[in-house]
Structure 1
C-alpha cells in the first residue's frame, strides 16, 4: 500500500487573520468603533496633553479590545444581527398555549 502523506503547516488556521489572532472583520469593526471616540476625546477634553492621553487611552483601549474580540467569538455586527433576528421573532406563550404577538 502506498499512502500519500500530507503535512499540515502549524499556521493553517491563520489565513484571513490579522497577526494570526483577529479576523479582518473584527479589526474593521474595532477601528470604526474607536475612531469616533478618539476624535471626541482629542477634540473636546479640556485637559492638558498628558491627562488627555491617559483618559483617551483609558477609553480607547477597552473599546478597541472589545471590538477586536467580539461577542462569543463572533463579530459584533454578526452578533447584533442574530440578536435582532431573535428579538423580532420571539413570542410570548400564554397559559393555554396561545401565542400572543
Structure 2
C-alpha cells in the first residue's frame, strides 16, 4: 500500500486567507463598516485625525471579531452565553431549603 500525502492546509477550505472562517469575516465587516461610518460622521477633527481615530477603534474591533471567542464567532458566543445566563440555576442544599434566583426554578 502506498502512503498518501496529506497537505498541511487540507482544512483551509472554508476560510479567508487560510486563517479566518467566513462567518467571522462577515461579522467583522458587518461590525466595521457601520462603526467606520458612524465615527467619520461624529469625529470633529480633520481628515487625518478622523482616520487615526477610526483606526484606533476599528482595528481592535475587527480583529476581535475575526478571532472570535473560544472557536465561536461573536454572535454564536453571545447566543450561547445568553442561553447559559437564562437557564442557569443556583441550588444550595442546606437541610430542607433550596435557594434559587427565580421562583419555582429549582425543585428538590
TM-score, normalized by length of structure 2?
0.83
Between the aligned partners of 1:47 and 1:90, the Cα distance in structure 2 is 47
Where does structure 1 differ by over 3 angstroms across 4 or more consecutive aligned residues? none
Q: What does residue 63 of structure 1 align with? A: 61
Q: Is the deviation greater in 48-57 or in 71-80?
A: 71-80
User: How does 1:5-24 map onto structure 2 within 5 Å?
Assistant: 5-24=3-22
Structure 1 residue 87 corresponds to structure 2 residue 60: no
Task: Give me the CA root mean square deviation.
Answer: 1.5
RCO comparison, higher one (Cα < 8 Å, 6+): 1
Greater helix content:
1
User: How does 1:18-37 map onto structure 2 within 5 Å?
Assistant: 18-37=16-35
Structure 1 residue 98, shift from structure 2 partner: 2.5
Structure 1 residue 42, shift from structure 2 partner: 1.1
Gaps of 5+ in 1: none
Between the aligned partners of 2:99 and 2:15, the Cα distance in structure 1 is 44
1:23-82 deviation per Cα after TM superposition (whole angstroms, max 9, x unaligned): 000001101111111001111211111111110111110001011001122111111111
Between the aligned partners of 1:24 and 1:56, the Cα distance in structure 2 is 24
TM-score, normalized by length of structure 1?
0.89
Greater strand content:
1
Gaps of 5+ in 2: 103-108
